[in-house]
Structure 1
């Protein structure tokens, strides 16, 4: 049996794409679109960051192809080269959200979504008031978990969860072993575990 794309998931992808291609809390729309282009270059098989992509492009490239190889020292070197930790955190969010959007579209056999003309809007500057340094390599709020790791930048945290829930399961149902949509909870968790294994994501 072949399942048609779920309307809620497609709608979530459209919202995520709109979010990705507009100004964020720290980066402009143009800067965010440069991140998108660099990540797509990496996934298309580029062997190194673009020559003119700068430190943001370098961070993007390695997040896209070798995230598990990044260390605290590497992130500190990015900062020493001028990439603010909050900007780095925003890039983490962009690459993660984009991977979900792009690979979902590929899985449906569709073309990747085309970038619009970047707006001239300024970054919102929205940063959580209770942001702390030190728990991770990036600013965080409280003790972060996978769904809340971006919450130092509230709009990025909201965007992550807005796509996370339709693609996986509503946060309120994570512990419900009887939950089901088109798949049973066991099938959902098998797919999640397999995907995590293939991506070397051992959270």
Structure 2
């Protein structure tokens, strides 16, 4: 990876950890940082220290971080019954997924994981998105449920995912270009790595 791309990655870390430290739509900054800490522990077979997360959020964080292939619709329904609404689960997946992608990229670059920042005080927005519904998916989405709509029930969550995907994978507008090249890697080489990674992670999509 070139110096310019390392700088781009470091800037991504700054943006993303700044977001995680701040209140989101359904979680406080303290809760989002707790998710990050629990996720890091789960991904390295450690037990996180005390956390402000409730039982449902704690279980969901660990499962998304370290056993995502075992997730089922019944899990989400059970967490909802315990008080964690579906949109809050969607935001949780976004926090954990972005953290996992960034930490994995750091490992591949030979870098230490970025230290978690201090939380920024503030209350969640608790804002909903008009028109989202359950369309062939486990959570509400804007349109049919598939990766590009996975976070659409939470304002701003899709943009945060696109930010990570653009730096670590490719810009969304380049997805349809089979001739795309990134840092001397061809599209075929990029997709080979992506598909192998998905296979190793038991990704059923």
Aligned-partner Cα distance in 1 for 2:21–2:202: 27
Q: What whole-Å deviation, never above 9, does each CA across 1:134-190 have from its counterpart, x for those lacking one?
A: 532212111132132101112111100111122111222112111112111111111
Which residue in 1 is equivalent to 2:69? 68
Q: CA deviation at 1:12?
A: 2.3
For the 8 Å contact 1:50–1:57, the answer to whether it is kept is no
Q: Secondary structure of 1:188's match?
A: helix
Aligned-partner Cα distance in 2 for 1:42–1:184: 33
Q: CA deviation at 1:9?
A: 3.2
Which residue in 2 is equivalent to 1:104? 105
Q: Secondary structure of 2:156's match?
A: helix
> Scaled by the length of structure 1, what TM-score is found?
0.90
For structure 2, the residue ranges without an aligned partner over 5 or more in a row are: none
Which residue in 1 is equivalent to 2:190? 188
1:122-137 to structure 2, matched below 5 A, reads 122-133=123-134, 135-137=136-138
Give runs of ≥4 in structure 1 deviating > 3 Å: 2-5, 46-53
User: Which stretch shows the higher mean deviation, 45-54 or 138-147?
Assistant: 45-54
Shift in alpha-carbon separation, 1:23–1:70, aligned structure 2, 3 A: same
Which residue in 1 is equivalent to 2:156? 155
1:107-122 to structure 2, matched below 5 A, reads 107-122=108-123
For the 8 Å contact 1:177–1:185, the answer to whether it is kept is yes
Which residue in 2 is equivalent to 1:179? 180
Which residue in 2 is equivalent to 1:41? 41
1:7-26 to structure 2, matched below 5 A, reads 7-26=7-26
> Scaled by the length of structure 2, what TM-score is found?
0.89
For the 8 Å contact 1:42–1:49, the answer to whether it is kept is no
Aligned residues: 202
Q: CA deviation at 1:10?
A: 3.1
RMSD of the TM alignment (CA)?
A: 2.2
Which residue in 2 is equivalent to 1:202? 204
Q: What whole-Å deviation, never above 9, does each CA across 1:19-50 have from its counterpart, x for those lacking one?
A: 22221111010111111111111012037997
Q: CA deviation at 1:4?
A: 4.5
Aligned-partner Cα distance in 2 for 1:111–1:51: 23
